[in-house]
Amino acid sequence: MREQEGIPTLPSDAGNIRRAAEALRSGRLVVFPTETVYGLGGDAASDAAVAAIFAVKGRPAFNPLIIHVENAEAAFALGDATPEARRLAARFWPGPLSLVLRRRPDAPVSLLATAGLETIAVRVPSHPVARALLREFGGGIAAPSANISGRLSPTRPQHITLPAPDIAHILVGDPPTVGLESTVIACLPDTPVSMLRPGGIPLENIEIPLTTATSESETPSSPGMLTHHYAPRAPLRLNATSMRNDELLLAFGTPLPNARSTCNLSPSADLREAAANLFAHLAHLDAEATRLAEAAHTSDLPTIAVMPIPNRDLGRAINDRLTRAARG
Ligand code: TXA
Ligand code: MG
């Protein structure tokens, strides 16, 4: 692997942590050390920053991201605390544990970060630089491992090989002490506690009975096994090149004429903008379809027609999610 070119690599002193928090606030990305691996962080509340994370990593699908927060209280403001979640948090946070919780409706987190799921993964890291950055930033930081999708997760700054433009800084600190990604455990209401990814906390240390839902890792199957993918109530018709009667339109680029209602993923046909808008626009059209059906006193919801999205870059991930949503 080659050393990262073109991204300022900064020691994690107070001034640089402040600079990094500023960059996050302005929607840019920051690479920072955690006790597990280096993370590629962005403002979890920003659709655009989260879309940039997926673009930079080249993730083939919108595999949901772990939201890093300062403490358990902040974590449980994003996802509902079950009794087991509280016990695990008290024992292992801060540290290499991520909890998948039921997402709270008021969580200020991009729908793209949780891939439209009803759940959310949260983690309180223990690395002093990660903690200082979270404190300075004040909100949730969405952060996957700072590797290109499919490559090794970096534990040294010289192993980071990400494309430069969206990344403001690489903060350098003491190397990760764990060196392995966090253990991911789902604690959802009325569901057995289950281990979704083995990781930095040995299973033997977890004194709660666990079911094992799946093995590792960057496959979207773990969330898939656990809970529903986002699926609108309204039927979806993909690759629409003309409108049929009564349909709503999810447009990309110049919208097709004659839709009852239109949301445009990106008027300029920009895939990153489209990714940032995907789940919010689908949810909006779904609500609109429900409203129209209710007004017409029918249980048949109008179809949402979706214009073709090119199958490259983030378009592949968008099409992956749309195909799943259409199946649901
Ligand atoms: O140690 C770590 O967890 C590192 C550092 C940077 O914190 N982060 C990390 O993130 O490994 P990432 O994106 O490489 O892996 C996140 C894992 C994926 O396997 C993903 O499917 C799972 O967490 N995950 C995230 N949200 C989920 C959800 N709502 N339901 C189920 N699985 C989820
Ligand atoms: Mg990873």
- pLDDT tens for 114-133 read 999 999 999 999 999 999 99
The single residue listed with the structure tokens 């689908």 is: 282
For ligand 1, the distance from its centroid to the CA atom of residue 181, given in whole angstroms, is 8
Beta carbon of 39 within 6 Å of any ligand 1 atom = yes
Residue 160 has pLDDT above 80, yes or no: yes
Instruction: Give pTM, 2 decimals.
Output: 0.89
Q: What percent of the chain has pLDDT over 70?
A: 93
Q: Residue 64: which of 328, 322, 323, 317 has the closest Cα?
A: 317
What is residue 160's DSSP assignment?
-
- pLDDT tens for 223-236 read 434 444 567 889 99
Question: Structure tokens of 73?
Answer: 């209280």
Beta carbon of 155 within 6 Å of any ligand 1 atom = no
Q: What percent of the chain has pLDDT over 90?
A: 75
Is residue 142 classed as helix, strand or coil in its secondary structure?
Answer: strand
- The residue ranges of DSSP E strands in the chain, in sequence order, are 9-11, 29-33, 38-43, 66-68, 97-102, 119-123, 141-142, 167-172, 183-186, 194-197, 211-212, 236-237, 248-251, 262-264, 304-306
Beta carbon of 66 within 6 Å of any ligand 1 atom = yes
In sequence order, the 6+-apart residues with CB closer than 8 A to the CB of 237 are 244, 247, 303, 304, 305, 306, 326
Beta carbon of 64 within 6 Å of any ligand 1 atom = yes
Question: Structure tokens of 312?
Answer: 């490259």
For ligand 2, the distance from its centroid to the CA atom of residue 218, given in whole angstroms, is 6
Arithmetic mean of pLDDT over the chain: 91
For ligand 1, the distance from its centroid to the CA atom of residue 132, given in whole angstroms, is 21
The single residue listed with the structure tokens 């919208």 is: 255
In sequence order, the 6+-apart residues with CB closer than 8 A to the CB of 270 are none
Question: Structure tokens of 264?
Answer: 């445009």
Instruction: Over range 139-161, report the average pLDDT.
Output: 92
Measured from the alpha carbon of residue 182, the closest ligand is 1
Beta carbon of 101 within 6 Å of any ligand 1 atom = no
Beta carbon of 223 within 6 Å of any ligand 1 atom = yes
pLDDT for 202: 78
Is residue 41 classed as helix, strand or coil in its secondary structure?
Answer: strand
- pLDDT tens for 247-262 read 999 999 999 999 999 9
Instruction: Over range 102-117, report the average pLDDT.
Output: 96
What is residue 7's DSSP assignment?
S
Q: How many residues belong to the chain?
A: 328
C-alpha 185/C-alpha 76 separation (Å) is: 15
Handedness of CA 313, 316, 319, 321 (dihedral sign): negative
Residue 199 has pLDDT above 60, yes or no: yes
Lowest mean pLDDT among 54-63, 80-89, 133-142, 284-293: 54-63
- pLDDT tens for 36-45 read 999 999 999 9
The pick from 50, 181, 215 for probing ligand 1's pocket by mutation, whose C-beta has the most ligand atoms within 8 angstroms, reads: 181
